[in-house]
Structure 1
Amino acid sequence: MGHLEIKRLSKSFDGKEVLKHLSLQVEEGEFLTILGPSGSGKSTLFHLIGGLIEPDQGEIILDSNNITGQRGLISYMPQQPALLPWRTVIDNAMLGEELHGKADKEKAVEMIQKAGLAGYEDSLPDALSGGMKQRVAFIRALLSPQSLICLDEPFSALDDFTRLEMHQWLLAIWAEYKRTILFVTHNIDEALFLSDRIIVLSANPSEIANEYKIPFKRPRNKELLLTEEFLEWKRKLNKSIFQRQDGNETDH
């Protein structure tokens, strides 16, 4: 479960077209990243998938069901951890499950311990660092029953060292629990390090400019970031994003 299909999605705000006939698929168990400059409609796409807003045209299909305009059918992790300050770590982690009438405390404790947060189960969020809060937020997303997890630039507020640590932790946890992930970022290194496949969006309005299948084997470690192959892919993606969108230059 977790197969997502977006069919010719369009959305405008105040007469300005943000998304134009956008179509893509996310396969079950895939880590797909949407990469694009600011203003390319990445967050708008997530709001549409989550049912917070409705498209002007198009459909969103999850596991063969049309979920266009429906809420509560995906697991969503925003840029900020959004932990409830009055709930403990364990209670925040189980929130998604509780909202759907079922919570597995034993599994939540196990995942918290695997996240390196043993001993913090009964702590409030104020006692945690930024990276620790993000781990709790991701555990909450993993424990939620929905088949698709949408991650909206969840590491953008972290320093570089914490961000890299979170990348490695995220991949380790994802490999064990293997959920379908749709990830949004404007960070090229992050997209390359994490993804199975990357879709590059143009802007004004957003369309798919390029799509890349990432060849790096898993598991991945930080040494990958310094390889010539990684740097070559980084150059390719950088060119894809910042080249003039005039149709004179394409990248396959």
Structure 2
Amino acid sequence: MSHLEVQHINKSFGENTVLHDVSFSVKEAEFVALLGPSGSGKSTLFRIIGGISHPSSGSVNLNGENINGKRGSISYTPQSSSLMPWRTILDNVLLGQEITGNRDVEKALQMIERAGLKGFEQSYPHELSGGMQQRASFIRSILSPQSLIILDEPFSALDEFTRLDMQKWLLSIWSEYKRSILFVTHNIEEAIFLADRIIVLSSRPASVKKEFTIPFARPRDEAILLSDSFLRLKKRIYQEMRGNNGE
């Protein structure tokens, strides 16, 4: 079970206000995308949700419990794969379970095979492509005990076709395991294709400018990327984000 409530978060560093009255939710088994311009304070927001940083005011609640300043409540996957270079892929995938003392090697091996990484269990991260490393990172998140996963632009370094393959793979795994996901991206198309809802942040100081509910049924096929309804929604979100920059 996982229900995240971000309530009236403000964050300032001296005279510099980064976040202003940010409120949104991620419901049980919901896939929410967060869109915002560069420098809008998304990383600061993540540090607050992850308990690494304290808000100046406001609260972060997970399943009704205030987790301000509490680390380990969520699983966070950054832009780079963050795999430990001295650990094999299998040992990297099991890291989250190791911390809780509950290694499930059989399930990890099943997930590695499902990710197309069979035969690489004893390989090291530098022996894998970027896309393969990101799959291993996501498997680690799925196998970790936390019920909420934050993915911070995990596919930004991949080429367009690899990125689409990874998006489809991510949706197939998420549809099976139904974890709550907060997915950050600058890519409007990616956000629409993946998410149930999109939250658009304003430029700094960041606040929630707009929410969009995605009307497309699941499972989603890449054919919708070229549909008129998809392109109309993409245009609406694009115009909203252009407004962020005062253009």
TM range (shorter): over 0.9
Cα shift readout 1:18-46 (whole Å, capped 9, x = no counterpart): 10011111100000011111111111111
TM-score, normalised to structure 2, is 0.97
Q: Which runs of 4+ in 1 moved over 4 A?
A: none
Give SS of 1:9's match. strand
Instruction: Tell me the residue number matched to 1:145.
Output: 145
> Does structure 1 retain, via aligned residues, the 8 Å contact 2:203–2:244?
no
Q: Residue deviations 1:128-168, cap 9 Å, x none? A: 00000000000000000001001111111111111111000
- The residue matched to 2:120 in structure 1 has which SS? coil
Q: Which amino acid aligns with 1:35?
A: L
Q: Distance in 1 between matches of 2:15 and 2:110?
A: 49
Matches within 5 A, 1:194-205: 194-205=194-205
Which residue matches 2:190?
190
Contact 2:32 2:196 in 1 (8 A): yes
- Equivalent positions of 1:99-248 (< 5 A) are 99-243=99-243
Within a 5 Å distance, the mapping from 1:51-90 to structure 2 comes to 51-90=51-90
Amino acid aligned to 1:179: R
Deviation at 1:14, TM superposition (A): 3.6
**Maintained 8 Å contact 2:35/2:199:** yes
Indicate the percent of aligned positions where both proteins have the same amino acid.
56
Aligned to 1:249: none
User: Which digits, 9 at most, give the CA deviation of each residue in 1:35-89, with x for residues without a partner?
Assistant: 1111111111111100111100011000111100110110000000011111111
Q: How many matched pairs?
A: 247
Query: Following the alignment from structure 1 to structure 2, what is the Cα–Cα distance between the partners of residues 51 and 244?
Result: 28
TM-score, normalised to structure 1's length?
A: 0.95
> 2:88 is matched by which residue type in structure 1?
T
Structure 1 residue ranges without an equivalent (≥5): 247-252
Counterparts of 1:54 and 1:243, CA distance in 2: 29
- Measure how far apart 1:245 and its partner are: 7.1
Q: In structure 2, what is the Cα distance between the partners aligned to 1:244 and 1:142?
A: 34
Tell me whether 1:29 sits opposite 2:12 in the alignment: no
What is the letter of the counterpart of residue 147 of structure 1?
S
Report the CA distance shift for 1:244/1:65 in structure 2 as closer, same or farther (over 3 A).
closer
Describe the SS at the equivalent of 1:117: coil
Letter paired with 1:149: I
Q: In structure 2, how many angstroms separate the alpha carbons of the residues matched to 1:243 and 1:5? A: 26
Unaligned runs of 5+ in 2: none
Structure 2 residue aligned with 1:250: none
Partner Cα distance (1:244, 1:118) in 2: 44
Task: Describe how 1:10-29 pairs up with structure 2 within 5 A.
Answer: 10-29=10-29
> How much has 1:13 moved relative to structure 2?
2.1
Alpha-carbon contact 2:202-2:244 (below 8 Å) kept: no
Task: State how far apart, in whole Å, the 2-side matches of 1:117 and 1:74 are.
Answer: 25
